[in-house]
Amino acid sequence: MGNICRSPLASAVMQAEVVRRGLQGRVAVASAGVYDGHAGERADGRARRLALDRGYPAIETERARGVRDDDFERFDLILAMDHSNLRGLQRRCPEPHQHKLHLYLAYAGLGEREVPDPYYGPIEGFELVLGLCEQASGAVLDRLLASRTQTP
């Protein structure tokens, strides 16, 4: 929502997966929130500590921003961490780009579960979110790449 917890973690993990697969320059990853009240802020300190400890240095370059109207055209895929954020994106997204919107874990083939917001809880919530991002990132990338090879 505010782009300081879940999305920056997912972005950092996905960026590491892109590098691991040698897909730099072919796959771009960005993070944004439906609420821009934290614009310009770094990711939550708990998220940064965990990400750095687990080998995801891209978390340090993340800065919160709100989704921009041109994001719907610019990106091939836009993933939401929960149903509330997905509905917010669906309300803003122009009809020709609605097909790009998905629930993050569902797109990864992990069911309709939501990634819980860890902001108001203990560090264990951030650990859970990071684990879900690690579990989902490879599958998200696989599906994205497969969809791109099927498009003429």
Q: Can you give the residue ranges of every domain in the chain?
A: 6-143
Tell me how far apart the alpha carbons of residues 8 and 51 are, in angstroms, rounded to a whole number. Answer: 9
pLDDT value for 34: 94
Mean predicted lDDT score pLDDT of the chain: 95
Tell me how far apart the alpha carbons of residues 3 and 19 are, in angstroms, rounded to a whole number. Answer: 22
Residue 119: closest CA among 69, 55, 68, 64? 64
The number of angstroms, rounded, from the C-alpha of 64 to the middle of its chain's C-alpha atoms is 12
For 6-143, CATH gives 3.40.50.2300
pLDDT value for 36: 86
C-beta separation of 76 from 144 below 8 A: yes
Q: Which secondary-structure segment (H or E) carries 80? A: strand 78-80
What is the pLDDT averaged over residues 36-57? Answer: 96
pLDDT value for 41: 96
pLDDT value for 1: 86
